[in-house]
Amino acid sequence: MHRPFTPLQRVGFFGAILLALIWSFLPIYWMVISSLRPPSALFTRPTLLPEGGFSLESYRTLLQYTDYGQQFLNSLLVAGFVVVITLVLSIIVAYTVTRYRVPGKTALIGSMLYAYMFPPLLLAIPLLSIFAELGLADTRLSIVIAHCTLTLPLGVWLFWGFFKSMPFDLEEAAMIDGCTRFGAFVRIILPLSLPGIVTVAIFSFLLSWTDYIFAFVLLSSDSQKTLPVGLSSILGTFDVRWGEVMAGATLIALPLLFLFMFLSRYFIQGLAAGAMKG
């Protein structure tokens, strides 16, 4: 039986939580507030709220004088395809190695995680050479393939843990009732794997949406650039448009904020279940 906290311990506990929240969310808050400050107030005495009211001028300038709209579309297309490809391929691979006899399947699953031992830059340079030989250099497809080299291993590993923990009796019972194997998989296994599906989807979207290294190395034309690379181009050598930079960073973070707001419960369940079952 746990002993109740003393008043001093309770104050220390909640004080530590408050400090952790301030440490985590103050940079995000400062980014959003700075994007809403009038340009003339960006280099004055810093305050928690903008002096003189809120202003959308940084957002108007960003959207009017940059290719932010095209870059947003590029990032959305790339991240969307990465999520779909990662989910489909990782589910197929993980289900195959857990339901069929595959020689060396444990070594295969473990070796896929070796991709995380190398910095993205070390992978981006040889990938650039390969894509140049294939005629895929400076295309969104090259970025999709590059991102999948990092998202697929984790997706396979997580789904492997989910499928391995599910007894085959569930599918056998469905097939006895008239389902095909594919029907049993769709009706029984996939619904039970929803936390894992959401976890892999969020992870894949997050990695692709925020990637800078692959996009910087593999893309050169302005029409193909994604948001992080496009945002970095605002940083001039002698003139830094901090209002536009903060506005662009805020717009990059908004989709991720909405994802975690509505899907955080499944994301946490998926990480916990995948870790325990894998």
Instruction: Give the orientation angle of helix 242-277 with respect to helix 68-99, to 10 degrees.
Output: 10
Tell me the range of 14-18, 230-234, 240-244 where mean pLDDT is highest.
Answer: 14-18
Cα angle 45, 46, 50 (rounded to 5 degrees) comes to 110
CATH fold for domain 68-277: MetI-like fold (1.10.3720)
Structure tokens at 22: 């301030």
| Confidence at residue 265, expressed as pLDDT on a 0 to 100 scale | 67
Least Cα distance to 113 among 141, 90, 85 occurs for: 90
Domain spans of the chain?
1-55, 68-277
Length of the chain: 278
Reported as a pLDDT band with limits 50, 70 and 90, residue 5 is low
Query: Among residues of the chain, what percentage have pLDDT more than 90?
Result: 15
Task: Tell me which amino acid residue 5 is.
Answer: F
Reported as a pLDDT band with limits 50, 70 and 90, residue 278 is very low
What is the rounded CA–CA span in Å between residue 90 and residue 75?
Answer: 22
Supply the Cα-derived Rg of the chain in whole angstroms: 23
List CB contacts of 203: < 8 A, sequence separation 6 or more: 151, 154, 155
